[in-house]
């Protein structure tokens, strides 16, 4: 009942309720013969956007859980050869998920910095 009063009072007054900030971080998937696979993840609410590096391409996936947090379903998946297009695609998916261009631009900058660090990582020298 308290929640109903809280929602109805904020709806009438026009105030915005605080929204949780999106979670984004680097995740390493389980080890493969070539080593762990780095993944960029962005998540807010029921939507998630991931960027992974395949052999010759970048894979952008947008997923969503069901209304009652059921199984995850893939809403969008696209491969890009150029990392620049993959970053733009992540930005577009975040804008679509949040309906907020500023959040999408921030996510685009974050993923561009992440991709840049991935592409310009020094290769280890074995003696």
38-48 pLDDT tens trace? 899 999 988 99
- Does any domain span residue 93? yes
How does pLDDT run across 28-41, given as a tens digit for each residue? Answer: 444 345 556 789 99
Of 64, 57, 50, the C-alpha closest to 107 is 50
Phi/psi at 62 (nearest 5 deg)? -115, 125
The stretches in the chain having pLDDT less than 70 are: 1-36, 120-127
- Does any domain span residue 16? no
For CA atoms 37, 83, 109, 15, give the dihedral sign.
negative
pTM for the full predicted model = 0.68
Q: Are 86 and 21 in contact (CB under 8 A)?
A: no
For residue 115, the enclosing domain spans: 21-119
- CA dist 96 and 81 (Å) reads 22
- Does any domain span residue 14? no
- Does any domain span residue 43? yes
């Amino acid at each position: 009942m308290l929640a109903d009063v809280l929602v109805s009072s904020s709806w009438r007054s026009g105030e915005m309720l605080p929204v949780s900030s999106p979670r984004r971080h680097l995740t390493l998937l389980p080890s493969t013969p070539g080593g762990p696979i780095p993944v960029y993840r962005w998540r807010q609410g029921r939507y998630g956007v991931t960027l992974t590096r395949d052999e010759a391409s970048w894979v952008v996936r947008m997923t969503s859980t069901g209304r009652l947090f059921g199984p995850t379903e893939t809403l969008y998946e696209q491969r890009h050869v150029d990392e620049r297009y993959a970053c733009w695609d992540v930005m577009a998916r975040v804008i679509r998920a949040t309906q907020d261009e500023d959040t999408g631009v921030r996510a685009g900058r974050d993923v561009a910095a992440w991709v840049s660090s991935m592409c310009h990582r020094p290769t280890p020298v074995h003696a």
